[in-house]
Chains A and B, each alone.
Chain A
C-alpha cells in the first residue's frame, strides 16, 4: 500500500519553457502532498506543502509564481516549473500523506522523483 507515482521520471527542456510534473497517490487518498527539491549531494529541501482544494504553502525563498502547484483532487498534485532556467535543473520529489493521516506521526511516502535538466 501507500504507492505514490510521479511522472515523468526524467525530462529535458530548453530554457524559457515550462514543465509539468504529476504526482499521484495510487492506492490511497492524499489530503496533503509535499514537494521537495534535491541538488546533487544535498538533502531534500521542502519547496511547498499542498492541501487538496486549497492554495499551496510555499517555503521561504521559493517563488510561488515560478513553481505553480495544483492539488485539485485527493489523488493528484502537479508542480509546474514555469520559464525554466538551467539553475532549476534538479531532482524533484513529491510525497503524500493519506486522508485521516494529518498527524505528524505519519511517515511520508515518496514518488520516484523527476530529474529535470534545463539546457
Chain B
C-alpha cells in the first residue's frame, strides 16, 4: 500500500466550479498535511497546510482533514484556468526521532474555460 495516495486524474472542471481533490494516507501517526501545486516543469509551491481535524480556509482554498478516516482534501472554489496544474498532497511523519515528508503522486487538474 502506498503511503500517500491520490487519484492521478485528470480532473476536469469548468471555470467557476468547485474542484475537489482527495488524498489518503496510511500512517496513523502522521501529524501534518500539506497541499502543493506544481506546474509542468516547475517545482512545487505551497498552497496551504493543516494539522487539526476539520476545515481550514485560505482565500479560494479550503483544506479538510479527517484523521480518523486518514483522509485530507483540498477544495478550490471559483476555479480558474490558471489553477490547472498538478496538486500534490504531502504528509509529514515522525519515524525513530526523525521526520519525513512523503508526497503522493499528484492529481492533475484541468480547469476548462
Task: Mark A residues whose CB is within 8 Å of B.
Answer: 6, 34, 36, 42-44, 46, 49, 57, 91, 93, 95, 104-113, 115
A44 touches B44 (CB 8 A): yes
A107 touches B103 (CB 8 A): no
Q: How far is the CA of A105 from the CA of B92 in the complex (A)?
A: 7
Q: How far is the CA of A77 from the CA of B97 in the complex (A)?
A: 22
Measured between beta carbons, the chain A residues less than 8 angstroms from B45 are 110
Chain B interface residue bracket vs A:
20 to 34
- Minimal Cβ-Cβ distance residue in A for B30: A104
- Minimal Cβ-Cβ distance residue in B for A95: B101
A105 touches B31 (CB 8 A): yes
Q: Mark B40-68, 1 if CB is under 8 A from A, else 0.
A: 01111110010100000000000000000
Measured between beta carbons, the chain B residues less than 8 angstroms from A105 are 31-32, 49, 51, 92
Q: How far is the CA of A65 from the CA of B93 in the complex (A)?
A: 27
A43 touches B105 (CB 8 A): yes
